[in-house]
Amino acid sequence: MTASSLKDIAAALRARTVSAVELATDSLARIEAGNPQLNAFITLDRDGALAAARAADARIAAGDNGPLVGIPLAHKDVFCTEGVLTTCGSKMLSNFVSPYDAHVVTLLKQAGTVMVGKANMDEFAMGSSNENSHFGPSRNPWNPDCVPGGSSGGSAAAVAAGMVPIATGTDTGGSVRQPAAFCGITGIKPTYGTVSRYGMVAYASSLDQGGAFARSAEDCALLLSAMMGHDPRDSTSLARAAEDCSRDLSKPLAGLRIGLPREFFAEGMEGDVRAAVDAALDEYRRLGASTVEISLPNARLAIPAYYVIAPAEASSNLSRFDGVRYGHRAADYTDLMDMYRRSRAEGFGAEVQRRILVGTYVLSHGYYDAYYIKAQKLRRLIANDFAAAFRQCDVIAGPTTPSVAYGLGEKTSDPVQMYLGDIYTVAVNLAGLPGLSHPAGFGKGGLPVGLQLIGDYFSEARLLGAAHQFQQATDWHRRTPPI
């Protein structure tokens, strides 16, 4: 049942052909069977899941027909969960049990979901392959010798493998959309500020945004609707009315203008990805949409701008992890400064240390104007390019990633090559726009290809509606991996 759609699961729960406890038990069994090979989960919460499932069964018996009541889910291990380990995939927080829930966790508890555990991730969300986790890499269910993408790779792998029907993730530069593409599922990052960051451990505060994973756009719409909403504890949370992200699911595509940025279809995209993306765009045209060529002239500058701004914010955000109040503390040290140095050197992995060093450098006296301020100016130019593009089209489409999932260890020795894998996704975060990836076919090695849809601010319902119409006409999202 955990590989079924949310509508089918909810119908079975209401018909009493399955209980929430049975669903949670099945999900936990699937995780215990598949996790030794996929390493999608860091922590399981069996007792908490069964207690939440019993409470969900009571709600259903009392007539609560909410679409998420009794549905098992996984939270990316960057969201604080009261009484449960929140590690961020790091040795630094390997013993940290959060005393409170993130706002997203609270909202989904109120919606009746059943958290079965915390999903693996790149350490502090820094990575594109899930190989930077202190707890070992997650693996792709389509080929366990390949990466699932990152940093939300554990969440994507768990949904793709049928361990849970839905999962949360976070997206700082593509960390929901890229693993969704690599694992052959649907993932959406909403407009910046629509999902609270309270209790979501910060990497880069002006870029981080919570997002949703599911097999289909319809299921993503139900999950994201429950996650969105104003939170006064988060100063970046937008005061907006409740959003129904499923409102456009039945809207036909006739009249929809899809912009195709020439920069996305230039060099860099692998041939198998290009073939799948072109076929998907042909399907959109058959469904009534039209395509128009557009330009995002500053898109090529998104990677350098992102990898100045994000490390700078990480340098500031991660300064709180010093071994004093919580988290890892070195066993041997001579004085306070030595404790700081040793605790951070032992607690942070290589990629986190690299980004902290880069961020500290670009914020230092003499380099702040040359790097950080210039990157912020580029960020504004990139946002302006999108604003101009949306005067010509309703949504923008292109590949989510330049290639299908690559092999474990293939790019770990070359960080720059790893960073270039985000070339189609980081600009969306710099501009604060919503972006979605949905399955669009398969490439070499039988690995999934994702198509990315980008919308103007607050157009999540439009993106999900377009993806849903595509998925009604195709079956890529229904394909299941061998694991």
Mind listing the pLDDT tens digit for each residue in 35-88? Answer: 999 999 999 999 999 999 999 999 999 999 999 999 999 999 999 999 999 999
Strands (E), 210-265: 210-214, 257-261
HSE value, Cβ hemisphere, 13 Å, CA-based, for 454? 28
Q: How much is the pLDDT for 126?
A: 98
Q: How much is the pLDDT for 358?
A: 97
Instruction: Give Cα 87 distance to the centre of its chain.
Output: 17
96: pLDDT strictly greater than 80: yes
Compute how many other C-beta atoms are within 10 angstroms of the C-beta atom of residue 61: 10
Q: How much is the pLDDT for 416?
A: 84
Q: How much is the pLDDT for 478?
A: 97
349: confidence class by pLDDT, cuts 50, 70, 90: very high
Q: How much is the pLDDT for 267?
A: 81
Q: How much is the pLDDT for 245?
A: 98
- Shortest CA distance to 76 belongs to which of 85, 68, 63? 85
Q: How much is the pLDDT for 248?
A: 98
Q: How much is the pLDDT for 266?
A: 85
Interstrand relation of 448-455 and 395-399 (parallel, antiparallel or unpaired): antiparallel
136: pLDDT strictly greater than 90: yes
What are the tens digits of pLDDT across the range 244-265?
999 999 999 999 999 999 999 9
| pLDDT (average), residues 219-231 | 98
1-483 CATH: 3.90.1300.10
190: pLDDT strictly greater than 90: yes
Q: How much is the pLDDT for 242?
A: 87
Q: How much is the pLDDT for 282?
A: 98
Compute how many other C-beta atoms are within 10 angstroms of the C-beta atom of residue 185: 30
| pLDDT (average), residues 382-393 | 98
User: Do 35 and 96 form a contact (C-beta atoms < 8 A)?
Assistant: no
- Supply the residues annotated as catalytic: 76, 151, 175
Angle between helices 460-473 and 271-286 (to 10 degrees): 90
Strands (E), 243-289: 257-261
Backbone φ and ψ for 169, nearest 5 degrees, come out as -150, 180
pTM: 0.97
Give the amino acid at 479: R
- State both tokens at 62: 């009392």
